[in-house]
Amino acid sequence: MPDTLTLNGGNDALNGNINRATAKSSSKKVPNPDTEAKESRNPGSPLTLPPGFTPEKYAEFISAVQLIVGKENVDLITDAAQLIHEHYTDPSKAHDMHNVVEKTYFVASAVLCPRDVKDIQDIMRLCNQFEMPVWPFSIGRNTGYGGAAPRLPGSIGLDLGKHMNKVLEVNVEGAFALVEPGVTFFDLHDYLVKNNLRDQLWVDVPDVGGGSIIGNAVERGVGYTPYGDHWMMHCGMEIVLPSGELIRTGMGALPDPSRPHSEGLRPDQVPGNRAWQLFNYGFGPYNDGIFSQSNLGIVTKMGIWLMPNPRGYQAYLITLPKDEDLSKALDIIRPLRLQMVLQNVPTLRHILLDAAYSGNKKSYTDKDEPLNDEELDSIAKKLKLGRWNFYGAVYGPEPVRNVLWSTIKQAFSTIEGAKFILPEETTEHPVLQTRSGTLQGIPSLDELAWVNWQPNGAHLFFSPIAKITGEDGMLQYSMTKKRCKEAGIDFIGTFTIGMREMHHIVCIVFDRYNKAKRDRAHWLIRTLIQDAAEHGWGEYRTHLALMDQIADTYCFNDNAQMKLNETIKNALDPKGILAPGKNGVWPSNYDKDAWRISAPDAF
Ligand code: ADP
């Protein structure tokens, strides 16, 4: 193994996007992918070996892990030709389907499907023995953020959802569910419907419903009912630590002799405390936070609060004609949201997001460059929409809804040209029909459509947080729009309104088979992250390729928070096996600078 390693040294799996700087590797550090090992690849050995592994050591690990999970639950990735799953409905478990660097870069060497918690514990113990990096995921859709792919090439992917996919409990009295990693939003919704529980309880769902409830909540994803902040609404977790040890958080740490169970159960099989899904905090330090967007544990069970059926519901759309209406709208939205007149997580969508839902770019224009104001106005006219379109809902019995809706209408009527539309009154607004389902917890796949704006459409999300003010919103929007134009990419975005802030979600759509366009998208997001940081804005979540860059922007007091995260990481995972590099947190046995990914040179 060479002493000085180059991340991109002739490795055809990589491209110019990867940091070319050579990285000194001390004997203690785990090196970058080793081209020598790669070129002398034995038939049957993985496409990308984990760093520091010889084919022989890797084969030894695979033999040992097959004894744990069974051969049928080990899928070796030996050939780029295996990376063919490229659609949401048939997702890859080994690579990023929306790849912004070469698709063979962020790729697992094998995917394991543990059958239960004990398998996971045994796998973790084996990984510690071999110092094998392992990347857990629940379903692996994670669209726009890296899919199922690991941050560290060659890691073992841990597909938790294949076998561990049970709704363990739905409790009507307490309005919660306890689920395993493989339970999707569709699954839980279907469970409620099949068991005649939908009349009592709703599950909050994100834009598309095929993701895991656990995966989405731990990544702090959002939905659109009043229960839209999924992390806020989770309650109680069971976690396998990197050592293989099993913990339960909050009230789950307290044994409950009142719950019936027989002797001889493994700890993961023992029924949880009856307040586990009712009270988040338990006693002592509140641990759950360190297992969110983290590489400190594998979540094997999680509670999620369900929304009692509000006994009445009405979705609505408010269209706003002008670009600058964004400013006024946000200043109207803030007090309404704070007072909970806006009860749910509403969204203020740019016309092109709705246009892309209804057709690809070619269906509107032959132009490749970003559309100008005139063209956007003409699309809005054609679709009977505004430049901005606000989708919300009111919940509760009719008198309650009437008061809320008239207050909302009155506030928005101060914007000239605002129009108010209910889904029951129109057949012309397909997005409103979909949103009407989503905002009452009915999952769908409809919103996948906008990714086809470009041929072979893939996307990245740039998702900075902002104050809900006209000033901040306009500034963030203008900055983004200007950079999109420079990159030759249409601005497609939405403001998703949280309790006191908004997630500005910019959908950077590109042709995944066109390297030049991919590079533009990559340049754009890197530039936006930097621009945002210069304004004091940070992103809430990101793609694998950008984790280090964003982590670097959260640098108060000489990166004190990262130092804390690294201290915890090294204490809980001394061999650095669990998801090295996730969200920029690298264990001490990795040379984090050598693993950085930088912007493409030019476009
Ligand atoms: P989706 O729900 O969209 O399919 P994933 O299952 O891919 O999303 O999860 C997204 C990310 O969340 C993963 O890449 C991983 O980092 C993290 N994650 C998902 N499930 C777990 C889990 N059970 N334990 C720990 N981390 C998880």
**CATH number for 575:** 1.10.45.10
Q: In angstroms, rounded to a whole number, what is the distance separating the alpha carbons of residues 187 and 178? A: 13
Contact 420, 187 (CB under 8 A): no
Q: Is 139 in the pocket of ligand 1 (CB under 6 A)?
A: yes
Handedness of CA 305, 308, 310, 316 (dihedral sign): positive
Residue 78 in any domain: the answer is yes
What is the distance between the alpha carbons of residues 135 and 130, in angstroms, rounded to a whole number? 15
Same domain, 375 and 390: yes
Residues in the chain: 603
Rounded to the nearest 10 degrees, the angle between the axes of helix 325-338 and helix 470-487 is: 130
Same domain, 326 and 367: yes
**Cα–Cα dist 584/238, whole Å:** 24
Residues 13, 306: Cα–Cα separation, whole Å: 44
Note whether residue 300 is domain-resident.
yes
543 C-alpha to center of ligand 1: Å? 13
Residue 148 Cα: closest atom of ligand 1: 7
Summarised one tens digit per residue, pLDDT across range 262-300 is: 889 999 999 999 999 999 999 999 999 999 999 999 999
The yes-or-no verdict on residue 17 having pLDDT over 50 is no
pLDDT digits (tens, 9 = 90+) for 50-90: 999 999 999 999 999 999 999 999 999 999 999 999 899 99
Task: Compute the distance from residue 219 Cα to the ligand 1 centre, in Å.
Answer: 7
Q: How far apart are CA 159 and CA 138, in angstroms?
A: 6
| Residue 38 clears pLDDT 90, i.e. is over it | no
Q: Cα 501 to chain center, whole Å?
A: 18
Domain count, the chain: 4
Residues 438 and 393 in one domain: yes
**What pLDDT sits at residue 24?**
29
pTM of the entire predicted model: 0.93
Same-domain status, 327 and 355: yes
Cβ of 236 less than 6 Å from ligand 1? no
**End residue of a domain, out of 109, 132, 159:** 159
Q: What's the rounded Cα separation, in Å, for the pair 447 and 451? A: 8
| Distances in whole angstroms, Cα of residue 46 to Cα of each of 86, 97, 102, 106, 140 | 20, 19, 17, 13, 20
Mean pLDDT estimate for the chain: 92
Q: How far is the CA of 139 from the centre of ligand 1 (A)?
A: 7
Residues 555 and 537 grouped into a single domain: no
Higher-pLDDT residue of 229, 600: 229
Question: Are 410 and 507 members of one domain?
Answer: yes
Distance CA 432, CA 62 (A): 50
**Tokens describing residue 256:** 């409950």
Structural domain range at position 251: 167-257+270-308
CATH of the domain at 191: 3.30.465.10
Of all protein residues, the one whose alpha carbon is nearest to atom 14 of ligand 1 is 137
- Tokens at residue 425, please? 């009154």
**Amino acid letter for position 143:** T
Residue 578 lies in a domain: yes
Q: Give Cα separations from 266 to 121, 245, 271 (angstroms).
A: 12, 12, 10
Residue 577 is encoded by which pair of tokens?
């096996």
pLDDT in tens, 18-37: 432 323 233 345 444 443 34
Amino acid at 486: E
Q: Is 439 inside any structural domain? A: yes
d(CA 419, CA 414) in angstroms, rounded, equals 11
The DSSP secondary structure of 519-559, one letter per residue, reads: HHHHHHHHHHHHHHHHTT--BSS--GGGHHHHHHH--HHHH
Please classify residue 88 by burial: count the beta carbons closer than 10 Å to its beta carbon, then call 0-12 exposed, 13-18 middle and 19+ buried.
middle
CATH number of the domain bearing residue 321: 3.40.462.10
C-alpha dist (Å) from residue 28 to 20, 183, 575, 590: 22, 40, 11, 9
Nearest CA residue ID for atom 23, ligand 1: 299
- The enclosing H or E element of 247 equals strand 246-248
pLDDT reading at 515 higher than 80: yes
Catalytic residues: 145, 540-541
Same domain? For 320 and 304 the reply is: no
Q: Output the CA angle 377-319-466, nearest 5 degrees.
A: 95
